[in-house]
């Protein structure tokens, strides 16, 4: 696989395509209209049948039938398909919220006549920070998080950096509100990304969540639900925990990568332009981006206009697509 194919593979994966669909789609981009037989022979290392794979591409709006007998397939301009995929992902996120609520109702019914103290712990007040440190301190493999203010702990996240150094992996989905907290991007997010955290951003997060080693989770309200954290739920192995893990994975698949552009070396971009693109990808407001970069609104728009002129983009969405294609994001 060429470096370009590898980069494109990663970007298409973020959009939710399967490995088989990406392989077939990339072959169509290289060769143009192809029959089912030709595609079946050209991309043999698949898990699904060629019919199922092509059906997925057609449903995603990235391929269509061609020819008088409709026996061949070809790639189509992605604009409509990307819009449809975005709407479908938003629908899936809404469905994930419903599934978590249903799982919790089922959980309550299942244990209605049993003690739940060993499965759900409610922590309030000053005890919250202590319990978080106690449980996160024992992490061995992986910590998954959906990050949103308000926060229990302020300042740099030295605990995560120490975990990363000893081999604990982190995958974090940030909300736009996280980036808009003054100083949080430069003092917390970027140092953790540079230390090895895999970071993505999602325009609308369904909850504030941390999962440690797949065996225990912290859940609380996001800033869109409350401006002050008053309580924390600690969830241990149960149907609710399984649903929360599934919700995180769905959010992760739908989120845009934040980490790649932070330390990228590319002489086509100034450092401030790389940071501006990374901030744009988070969905942060213009004033927040300008404040974080330490520039005026006028200077921010001058950089933005220069990037759009350079890439030929007429909208910020087109600029984001170009930045992803060039591995700037």
Percent of the chain at pLDDT > 70 equals 74
pLDDT at 5 over 60: no
Instruction: Count CA within 13 A, CB hemisphere, residue 208.
Output: 22
State the pLDDT confidence band at 123, using cuts at 50, 70 and 90: confident
Please determine, looking at this structure, whether the domain spanning 120-257 carries the CATH number 3.90.550.10: no
Global confidence as pTM: 0.59
β-strands 63-66, 208-212: how paired? unpaired
Concatenated DSSP letters of 206-234: S-EEEEETTTEEEEE--TTT-SS--EEEE
CATH number for the domain whose boundaries are 271-326 = 1.10.10.10
State the pLDDT confidence band at 63, using cuts at 50, 70 and 90: confident
CATH number for the domain whose boundaries are 1-114 = 1.10.10.10
Q: What are phi and psi of 203, to 5 degrees?
A: -60, -30
The pLDDT, as a whole number, for residue 312 is 84
State the pLDDT confidence band at 155, using cuts at 50, 70 and 90: low
Both tokens of 120, joined, read 């759900």
Query: Do residues 181 and 223 make contact, with C-beta atoms less than 8 angstroms apart?
Result: no
β-strands 169-174, 198-201: how paired? parallel
Burial annotation 195-227 (CB, 10 A radius, 16+ → b, else e): bbbbbbbbeebbbbbbbbeeebbbbbbbbeeee
Cα 284 from chain centre: 15
Tell me the domain boundaries of the chain: 1-114, 120-257, 271-326
| Fold match, 1-114 / 271-326 | yes
pLDDT at 206 over 70: yes
pLDDT in tens, 14-28: 666 788 888 888 888
Task: Give the C-alpha separation, 226 to 245, whole Å.
Answer: 23
Residues 6+ apart with CB under 8 A from 276: 289, 293, 300, 303, 304, 307
Q: How far lies 246's CA from each of 106, 249, 255, 323, in Å?
A: 16, 5, 14, 29
């Amino acid at each position: 696989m060429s470096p370009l194919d590898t980069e494109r593979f990663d970007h298409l994966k973020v959009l939710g395509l399967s490995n088989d669909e990406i392989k077939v789609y990339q072959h169509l981009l290289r060769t143009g209209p192809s029959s089912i037989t030709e595609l079946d022979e050209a991309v043999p290392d698949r898990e699904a049948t060629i019919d199922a794979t092509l059906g997925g591409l057609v449903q995603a709006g990235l391929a269509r039938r061609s020819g008088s007998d409709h026996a061949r397939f070809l790639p189509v301009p992605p604009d409509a398909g990307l819009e449809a995929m975005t709407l479908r992902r938003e629908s899936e996120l809404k469905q994930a919220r419903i599934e978590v609520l249903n799982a919790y109702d089922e959980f309550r019914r299942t244990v209605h006549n049993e003690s739940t103290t060993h499965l759900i712990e409610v922590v309030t007040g000053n005890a919250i920070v202590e319990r978080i440190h106690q449980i996160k301190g024992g992490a061995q493999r992986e910590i998954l998080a959906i990050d949103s203010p308000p926060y229990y702990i302020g300042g740099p996240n030295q605990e995560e950096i120490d975990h990363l150094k000893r081999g604990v992996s982190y995958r974090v989905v940030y909300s736009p509100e996280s980036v808009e907290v003054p100083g949080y991007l430069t003092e917390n997010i970027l140092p953790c990304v540079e230390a090895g955290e895999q970071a993505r951003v999602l325009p609308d997060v369904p909850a504030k969540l941390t999962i440690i080693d797949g065996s225990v989770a912290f859940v609380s309200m996001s800033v869109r639900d409350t401006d002050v954290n008053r309580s924390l739920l600690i969830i241990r192995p149960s149907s609710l925990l399984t649903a929360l893990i599934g919700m995180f994975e769905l959010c992760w698949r739908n989120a845009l990568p934040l980490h790649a552009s932070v330390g990228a070396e590319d002489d086509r971009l100034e450092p401030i332009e790389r940071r501006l693109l990374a901030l744009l990808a988070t969905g942060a407001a213009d004033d927040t981006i300008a404040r974080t970069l330490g520039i005026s609104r006028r200077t921010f728009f001058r950089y933005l206009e220069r990037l759009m002129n350079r890439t030929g983009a007429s909208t910020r969405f087109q600029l984001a697509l170009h930045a992803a294609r060039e591995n700037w994001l």
